[in-house]
Structure 1
Amino acid sequence: MVDYSVWDHIEVSDDEDETHPNIDTASLFRWRHQARVERMEQFQKEKEELDKGCRECKRKIAECQKKMKELELAEPERGKGELEKLQAEAQQLKNEEKSWENKLEELRKKEKNMPWNVDTLSKDGFSKVGLVFPEIP
C-alpha cells in the first residue's frame, strides 16, 4: 500500500487564492517566500545547535568514563571519593544526554510534519553545473 499523505501539506505559491486587487501579488509572493526561507534557516540553525549540544554531551561522557577508568587503574583504594564523584557526574551527563536525544527526536518529528514547498520537494541527484572538463587536444 502506498502512503500518499506526504502530498497533503505542500506549500506551492501557484495554489494561492486570488488576491485582492489592491495587493501587489508579486510582492506578496516575495514576502511569503522570504518568510518561508527565514523559517527554514531558523529551523536549520536550531537543528545544528541541538546536534552540537548532543555531541558535546557525548564528548563529556567519554572524558568522564576515561577519567573513571584511569582512577580505577591508578589508585583503586585511595580514589574512592573521587570515583563516586565521577560516577555521579557520569549519571548526570547521561540524563542530560537523554534530554538532548529527546529534543532531537522532537525536532525530527517537527521536521517530518513540516509542509513541503518548492525548495524541499526535490533535491539534485546530479548536476553538471560547475564541472570542469579537460581540454581535448
Structure 2
Amino acid sequence: MVDYSVWDHIEVSDDEDDTHPNIDTASLFRWRHQARVERMEQIEKEKEELQKGANECKKKLLECQKKMKELEVQESAKPDSLKLKEELEQLKKEEKKWQKKEEELKKKEKTMPWNVDTLSKEGFSKEKKERKCVIHCKG
C-alpha cells in the first residue's frame, strides 16, 4: 500500500489560493517566497551551528581521552586523572546533548512542509564542461 501522507504538507499551490481583491497577488506571492527562503536560511544556520558545536565537543572528547591514556602510562598523576575523569564524563554528557539536538533538528526538517524549492532536485544536467585536450608528442 502506498503512503500518501507525504503529500499532506506541501506549500506549492499559491496560484490556487483565493486572495482578497484589495491585496496585490504578486506581492503576496513575493512575501510568501521571502518568508519561505528566510525559514530555510534559518534552518541552515541551525545546522551549521549544530555541526560546529558537535565537532568541537568531539575534539575535546578525543583530547581528553588521549590525555587519559597518557596518564595511564605514567601512573604517577592521580589528582590529574581524577580531574580528567570528571571532565571526560561531562564531555560525554555534552556529546549526548548534541546528539539529542541533532535528532530534534532532523525531526523538525522532516515535519517541515515541502515547497517549490525543496520538492524536487536536479537529477542530471546537460551543461557541458570544458575539457582540456592533452596532446602527447614524441620528440
Question: When the two structures are superposed, what TM-score results if normalisation uses the length of structure 2?
Answer: 0.89
Q: Which amino acid aligns with 1:40?
A: M
Match of 1:113 in 2: 111
Counterpart mapping for 1:81-120 below 5 A: 81-120=79-118
Match of 1:9 in 2: 9
Distance 1:86 1:129, change over 3 A: same
Counterpart mapping for 1:57-76 below 5 A: 57-73=57-73, 75-76=74-75
**C-alpha distance in structure 2 between counterparts of 1:4 and 1:29, whole Å:** 27
Distance 1:124 1:43, change over 3 A: same
**C-alpha distance in structure 1 between counterparts of 2:34 and 2:127, whole Å:** 25
- Residue 4 of structure 1 and its aligned partner are, at CA, apart by 1.4
Match of 1:80 in 2: 78
How many residue pairs align between the two structures? 133
1:102-133: per-residue Cα shift (whole Å, max 9, x none)? 01100100000000001001111211236235
SS in structure 1 at match of 2:125: coil
- Residue 21 of structure 1 and its aligned partner are, at CA, apart by 1.1
Match of 2:122 in 1: 124
Unpaired segments ≥5 residues, structure 2: 134-139
Whether 2:55 is the aligned partner of 1:55: answer yes
**Structure 1 consecutive aligned stretches of length 4 or more whose deviation exceeds 4 Å:** none
SS in structure 1 at match of 2:14: helix
- Residue 45 of structure 1 and its aligned partner are, at CA, apart by 0.5
1:46-86: per-residue Cα shift (whole Å, max 9, x none)? 0110111011101100000001101111x20x211101100
Question: When the two structures are superposed, what TM-score results if normalisation uses the length of structure 1?
Answer: 0.90
